[in-house]
Amino acid sequence: MSVHTQRAASTFPHPRRRLPGLGDILAVSTASPTQSEFELSKELGPIYELKFGTQRFLVVTSGELAKQVNNEQAWSKLVAGPFLSMRKNLTGAGLLTAANSDPLWGHANQVLRPGFVPQAMRRYHGAMSECVNGLSELWANQTKSIDVSRDMSRLTLEVIGQAGFGTEIGALRPDYDYGFTDSLTRALTNVSRSANDLPFSQWIFRSRLAQFRHDTTELRAFAQQVIERRHATGERRNDLLDMMLHGSDALNALPDENIADQVLTFLAAGNDTTAGLLSFCFYYMSQQPEYFAAVRAEVEDLCGQEPVGFEDVARLKLTRRLIDETLRLWPVAPGYFRKATADQELAGRSIPRGTVVFVLTLGVHRDEGTWGHDADAFDPARWENSKPASNPNRVYKPFGTGPRACIGRMFALHEATLAVAELSRRFTLNTAGSSELHVHEMLTLKPEGFSVRVQPVA
């Protein structure tokens, strides 16, 4: 991982526990890196330096500094840290992890962009609704408490399989064995934990590395099976896989190897981020069950007894505020790397071209200087008057920033809004155990050990 800053970076604060030759390995938890980096910001301020061996970068947690670093004229995306590990070991030249200079990124972006415009959501809406109905049937017959994060992973995995690739994965069948989701969870956890590993550490954690290789091999084999199955049938469908396999009149098809990269990217980053969003949203709603009643009333007022239709999703204002506030507190991308493309100043200090900054969205979205003294509180009402002109200094980047921001954000928001609306009209989720929130990091973030009792609406 080439994450280097120039000498000027040493003028920024850094953790006190820095070890000679090893740097800040004791200051940042490998199990929860972005959460521990957020805690460090409370001690070190809105910008500080981290060093791991020879790797150095700055961490930014204020809205003011994030706005500067998000400027595309002076900064660009950098694939580094866990994203670099993800590229090397799992998703290759997928849209999330391809290098800026890789021509396949631009080609794939052009091919897939039409699959994520508003009109495309209309095509996916039916599959999304069927998947939500499938989860509802499971919950209606559930007598024991459920693990919300695992069930949300089942839902979002089936959605991307059916809507994106015309493939029924079977994740919502009663006898689903969780094999695929467990492999994906382990792989993403290893991606996250390997980001701050020192070069020799792979020899210490050889069993972890062996499991990682096994999981990534299994996941890639699944992606290739999806492609081969479509090749074998010759079927044409108006979905993401068809776009990649056949291109368009103006664009050539993607190579099969890169299609596998893209399938893995959507299964890993796309599926799991939405599952995390839904899990966090239901966590906050379970702490204040009146939100279930409020969403239920909104859906019934808009749709009556009819299913939520495609046009209805954009009209579910309260439901969307719940989702926006969830994404503020727990963004699907807890951070992203940026690289200075010119010499400049940051926080009153000169930094040279090539300096790397990690924008910790998890901190930027909780910056009291821009979001107010209650920035840590879950308050969907703050989005009732959320026009950018009213709060020009607020930075809200749950899906990243710039041309390399998440291409699937509209897909995720449509899916999440529909799922929260339909599941809330049918069920209330009551916390089954401790109400304390524990967060598991695996590149993405999810509540851990969040169990609920499902109460059907009479």
Percent share of the chain, pLDDT over 70: 94
Residue 7 predicted with pLDDT over 70: no
Average pLDDT over the chain, rounded to whole? 91
Residue 199: count other Cβ atoms within 10 Å of its Cβ. 9
pTM of the model: 0.94
Enclosing domain of residue 371 = 7-456
How far apart CA 272 and CA 160 sit, in angstroms, is: 10
Identify the bridge partners of residue 446 per DSSP, sorted by sequence position.
440
Residue 231 predicted with pLDDT over 60: yes
DSSP 91: I
Is residue 275 assigned to a domain?
A: yes
Burial class (CB in 10 A: 0-12, 13-18, 19+), 256: middle
DSSP 348: T
Convert the pLDDT of each residue in 122-139 to its tens digit: 999 999 999 999 999 999
Q: Is 62 helix (H, G, I), strand (E, B) or coil?
A: coil
Residues 6+ apart with CB under 8 A from 329: 280, 365, 366, 376, 378
CATH number at residue 174: 1.10.630.10
Q: Is 265 helix (H, G, I), strand (E, B) or coil?
A: helix
Percent share of the chain, pLDDT over 90: 76
Mean pLDDT along residues 184-200: 75
Cα angle vertex 248, ends 244, 251, to 5°? 85
Residue 185 predicted with pLDDT over 50: yes
Residue 85: the pLDDT is: 86
Residue 331: the pLDDT is: 95
And the tokens for 114? 């039409």
How far apart CA 111 and CA 258 sit, in angstroms, is: 12
Q: From residue 177, how far is each of 159, 174, 180, 441 by CA, in Å?
A: 17, 9, 8, 23
Is residue 55 assigned to a domain?
A: yes
Higher pLDDT, 345 or 200: 345
What is the count of structural domains for the chain? 1
Closest CA to 443 of 94, 178, 64: 94
Instruction: Mark residue 402 as left, alpha or beta (left: phi above 0; alpha: psi -120 to 50; beta: remaining).
Output: left
Cβ proximity of 247 and 136 under 8 Å: no
Convert the pLDDT of each residue in 17-30 to its tens digit: 888 888 898 899 98
In what helix (H) or strand (E) does residue 325 lie, and over which residues does it extend?
A: helix 317-329
Residue 4 predicted with pLDDT over 60: no
Confidence of residue 2 (pLDDT cuts 50, 70, 90): very low
Convert the pLDDT of each residue in 408-420 to its tens digit: 999 999 999 999 9
- At 16, the amino acid letter reads R
Is residue 2 assigned to a domain?
A: no
How far apart CA 377 and CA 387 sit, in angstroms, is: 20
Identify the bridge partners of residue 47 per DSSP, sorted by sequence position.
60
Phi, psi of 124 (to 5 degrees): -85, -15
Q: Where do the H-state alpha helices sit in 81-205?
A: 82-86, 103-112, 118-140, 148-159, 165, 179-194, 201-204
Is residue 1 assigned to a domain?
A: no
Higher pLDDT, 443 or 233: 233
Is residue 342 assigned to a domain?
A: yes
Convert the pLDDT of each residue in 287-338 to its tens digit: 999 999 999 999 999 999 999 999 999 999 999 999 999 999 999 889 999 9
In this structure, what is the dihedral angle of CA atoms 309, 314, 315, 317, given to the nearest 10 degrees? 130
Closest CA to 284 of 446, 437, 439, 438: 437
Convert the pLDDT of each residue in 237-274 to its tens digit: 999 999 999 998 889 999 999 999 999 999 888 788 99
In what helix (H) or strand (E) does residue 76 lie, and over which residues does it extend?
A: strand 75-78
Phi, psi of 103 (to 5 degrees): -60, -25
Higher pLDDT, 270 or 141: 141
Residue 9 predicted with pLDDT over 90: no
Convert the pLDDT of each residue in 423-453 to its tens digit: 999 999 998 767 889 999 888 899 999 999 9
Identify the residue whose tokens are 């939100």.
291
Closest CA to 262 of 246, 240, 247, 230: 240
Residue 212: the pLDDT is: 87
Confidence of residue 1 (pLDDT cuts 50, 70, 90): very low
In what helix (H) or strand (E) does residue 454 lie, and over which residues does it extend?
A: strand 451-456
Residue 5: the pLDDT is: 46
Residues 6+ apart with CB under 8 A from 353: 340, 341, 342, 343
And the tokens for 343? 């010499």
Identify the residue whose tokens are 């690289």.
339
And the tokens for 9? 């970076």
Burial class (CB in 10 A: 0-12, 13-18, 19+), 435: exposed
Radius of gyration of the chain (CA): 22
Mean pLDDT along residues 77-105: 92
Cα 108 to chain centroid distance, Å, stands at: 20
Residues 6+ apart with CB under 8 A from 327: 277, 396, 398
And the tokens for 274? 């939405």
Mean pLDDT along residues 359-380: 96
